[in-house]
Amino acid sequence: MKYLAFIFMLTSLYAQAEYRVYQYMVKDRASQTPANIVTSSLNPRAYLAYNGMEYLQIDLMRTWICPGFTGFKKEICSSPYELMKQEVQ
């Protein structure tokens, strides 16, 4: 049993975390203001529930996965599409 716990501790040191990022076009249904582009780690259902489901219309534009830890107000990683545009230019 001790060996199993030791092996588990060694493998857990190399665990990798990742999170999904969503980019939305958000529009207020009540007003005629232009739509905003929002990047968030909340999925579409959670984003609507958190920000007011009856007032917002959201359209999912793109999504990507970021490696790493998300705590301590860490910034969301850049979109791979933006990185690809920079490489082309």
The tally of domains found in the chain comes to: 1
Mean pLDDT over residues 9-16, rounded?
63
DSSP string, 19-59: EEEEEEEEEESSS-PPPEEEEESS-HHHHHHHH-TTTEEEE
| Structural domain of 35 | 16-75
Cβ proximity of 53 and 35 under 8 Å:
no
pLDDT digits (tens, 9 = 90+) for 48-59: 999 887 888 999
Task: Provide the CA 89 distance to its chain's centre, in angstroms.
Answer: 26
In angstroms, the CA 66 to CA 58 distance is 22
CA contacts within 13 A on the Cβ side of 23: 14
Residue 39 maps to a domain: yes
pTM of the predicted protein model = 0.72
Residue 85 maps to a domain: no
Residue 5 maps to a domain: no
